Structure 1
Amino acid sequence: MRRALVLVAALWAGTAAAEAPVAAIVEGHVLPGFTRLAEASATLDATADDHCAPEDPALRAAWGAAFDAWIAVSHLRFGPTETGDRAFALAFWPDSRGATPKALAGLIAARDPVVETAEGFATVSIAARGFHALEFLIYDPAFTGDDAAAYRCALVQAMAGDIARIAADILTDWRADYAERMRDAGGNDTYRTPDEAAQELFKAVSTGLQFTSDTRLGRPLGTFDKPRPTRAEAWRSGRSLRHVVMSLDGTRDLALMLAEGHPEAAAALDAAYGRAFAIARDLDDPVFAGVETPEGRFQVEILQQAVDAIRRVVAQDLGPTLGVAAGFNALDGD
């Protein structure tokens, strides 16, 4: 009897997962997101050619737009984003050991000529590449003074070009090969059955929410006795809360597409996400500086709890509806 029940459950899971609109998600969520990232990153690269001073509003605006585009797809941590550690090269964070400022200081002190070629810059430490490293160069007073201005300009331009190339490579790989692997799930070695492709997308939602709760919100919260506001993501540029909202928006879009044809799961998701967005709108604390006060901490904890409520809906409503589970992910450790 037990064996029969397991077989029925397995057959149900495979059938349900096959109904997940994987091809529609690739066309309507994945490819548009990475196209926006590639386009915004190319604009950042072009802008940096003529606007490399840290206080230049054009540079800051282009960097912010490209960073927005990355956060919107940052939950899609599989396939082309993981090739050659591309995701880490775009966004090396959290940086618990302060590797980024150390790496940047070393490059500047040595006036390292590695910035002169794309091939050379691609060999530098990941800590000195990507959006977070560029944030230091354009927002941190330790790196925005007059000292080494010419070299710093070259470094900004090298970083912007590197970001643009990585974003373009991710999009190229999706268009050339990986999109078809997901559409043709069951006909290739990457996704041997349709439910494996559905599970990959489901895991992206689950892991994205976990990262937002545990890291984007958990790091600045620290403990009650020792809050850590300067551990918030992108606090130097005032983007910490913005990243939470944008990441939620990205996972919401994917989750609702996965729930297509399942109105009860979609309604539960919509309600849970709506509550989190409402709390975020009312939180007048863009960098979570308020975690140092009991009232401010409570407000950020309420937002974290709302994100965790979405995670429960995803696990308890969306997953069983699709016949998939999140499984292990990169945040689980060994």
Structure 2
Amino acid sequence: MTKLRAIVLAFVMPALAHAEGSSPIIQAVVQDHILPRYETFANEATKLADAAQSDCRVNSAPLKASFNDTFDAWIGVSHLRFGPSEQDNRAFALAFWPDSRNKTPKSLTRFLVDGDPAGLSAEAYQEVSIAARGLYALEFLLFDDVVSTIGDPQYHCTLVQTVTQDIANNARAISTDWDNTYANLMMHPSESGPYRTDTEALQEAFKALYTGVEFTKDTRLGRPLGSFNKPRPKRAEAWRSGRSLRNVEVSLTSLRDLASVISADHPGVAARLDNAFIYALDIAATQDDPTFANIADVQGWFEVDTLRQSLEAVREILADELALALEVTEGFNALDGD
């Protein structure tokens, strides 16, 4: 019996030691940052689909309110571009932006003019172009002066219901996969999983943080800013629904939370990083145009550029201090390909 017990322990103890040695930082990233935010997103998306079933008209106040709640929840996870969000292009199907070739309004126009039967079923709609799916497509359907009025009103209404149900299905699929599979894979690295070590899992979390900051700085702010001589306010994210500044603020708030978790073992860096986030959020709070349309004026351009520069300070702390403290690199994230 003693010999058998020794043999069993020889196999079991290494596995137990590995589980017990799982990084507290990664545990916190998954349990306190990722899982609750994806659950919130899935719940809000379900409410959005329900709101569209109740009233799918473009002037429905409850529908537009639910749209904003769901968009908030999406922005809160939009930097987490790895794992379940990348399966079957789910994240791109939820958020096809930037759209430099205007594929979204073109695709939606074809659906609305032709009355395409694929627009009548969420199951069929998951096979259509990602440009016609997700929150940015829904924004066009509800807020764009042209797209919101095209075609038969009943078909338009049904298409809104289809798009919202497709969003809800995708959101729930991502949340479920995190709960059922990917959370454990990230918290307990193994040779057969996507992460072989805690360091690799930490690298993934840091990449999400770094590229999230970079995306907000260079894309959410940089695209509409353009250059001083040629600003492009119509390139701002979600300007039709008045969410351009809101998306920056929600993103920074969520990224600040992730930064606080990842940097917890390095209090000096954590304090400097959090102060940089607070400064950026304070500057965002002083902005007076929710769509960044004011960057067409000299003063407005400099005000928004000051916000962008504050994010550069955050990025520098991440690259020059936190990455070194964690012994990781910026790496590559799916947002880099947007």
TM-score by length of 1: 0.92
1:97 equivalent among 89, 93, 101: 101
2:261 equivalent among 257, 263, 274: 257
Q: Is the 8 A contact 1:42 1:164 kept in 2?
A: yes
Matched, 1:136 2:140: yes
Matched, 1:193 2:174: no
Identity across aligned pairs (percent)? 49
Q: Is the 8 A contact 1:89 1:126 kept in 2?
A: yes
Deviations for 1:195-236, whole angstroms, at most 9, x for unmatched residues? 000000000000001100110001100122221101000000
Shift of 1:51: 1.1
Q: Is the 8 A contact 2:51 2:63 kept in 1?
A: yes
Matched, 1:223 2:227: yes
Q: Is the 8 A contact 2:113 2:150 kept in 1?
A: no
Matched, 1:299 2:303: yes
Secondary structure (helix, strand or coil) at the match of 1:236 reads coil
Matched, 1:162 2:166: yes
With 271-280 and 311-320 compared, the bigger mean Cα shift is at 311-320
Secondary structure (helix, strand or coil) at the match of 1:234 reads coil
Structure 2 counterpart of 1:283: 287
Shift of 1:19: 5.2
Shift of 1:324: 1.0
Unaligned runs of 5+ in 2: 1-20
Residue identity matched to 2:280: A
Q: State how far apart, in whole Å, the 2-side matches of 1:54 and 1:250 are.
A: 30
Structure 2 counterpart of 1:329: 333
Secondary structure (helix, strand or coil) at the match of 2:146 reads helix
Q: State how far apart, in whole Å, the 2-side matches of 1:225 and 1:277 are.
A: 27
Aligned residue runs from structure 1 range 1-334, under 5 A: 21-145=25-149, 147-330=151-334, 332=336
Shift of 1:18: 7.4
Deviations for 1:129-164, whole angstroms, at most 9, x for unmatched residues? 000000011101112337411000010000000000
Shift of 1:301: 0.6
Secondary structure (helix, strand or coil) at the match of 1:21 reads helix
Q: State how far apart, in whole Å, the 1-side matches of 2:236 and 2:81 are.
A: 21
Residues 20 and 188 from structure 1, CA distance in 2 versus in 1: closer, same or farther, beyond 3 angstroms? farther
- Structure with higher Rg: it is 2
Structure 2 counterpart of 1:9: none
Residue identity matched to 1:318: L
Residue identity matched to 1:189: G
Residue identity matched to 1:46: D
Shift of 1:26: 0.5
Structure 1 counterpart of 2:5: none
Residue identity matched to 2:204: E
Structure 2 counterpart of 1:4: none
With 166-175 and 322-331 compared, the bigger mean Cα shift is at 322-331
Q: Is the 8 A contact 1:220 1:229 kept in 2?
A: yes
Q: Over aligned residues, Cα RMSD in angstroms?
A: 1.5
Residue identity matched to 1:60: K
Aligned residues: 317
Shift of 1:253: 0.5
Shift of 1:332: 4.8
